[in-house]
Amino acid sequence: MDVVLLPQQEELWPAEGTVADFEIWWADSRQQIRLKPSDPRYLRRDFAEFVARFRPGWPSHIGRPVLAG
């Protein structure tokens, strides 16, 4: 899980052993993936502003589920 996507207050982070759903937020050539919490309780409150600030021009389809077709 990518810690920068978690709430700033550690007490709001999921406790160790918490079962939750995650989305692949980022994958790169280093064969690493970064996970984004699907549950908004575990996502930073300013997520939209964070994306706008650090990923300007990020295509709107990125981050949406890929449906089996």
| pLDDT tops 80 at residue 68 | no
pLDDT tens readout for residues 4-28? 889 999 999 988 999 989 888 877 7
Return d(Cα 58, Cα 4) in angstroms, integer: 17
Buried b (16+ CB within 10 A) or exposed e, 38-52: eeeebbbeeeeeeee
The model's pTM: 0.64
User: Rounded distance, CA 13 to CA 7, Å?
Assistant: 7
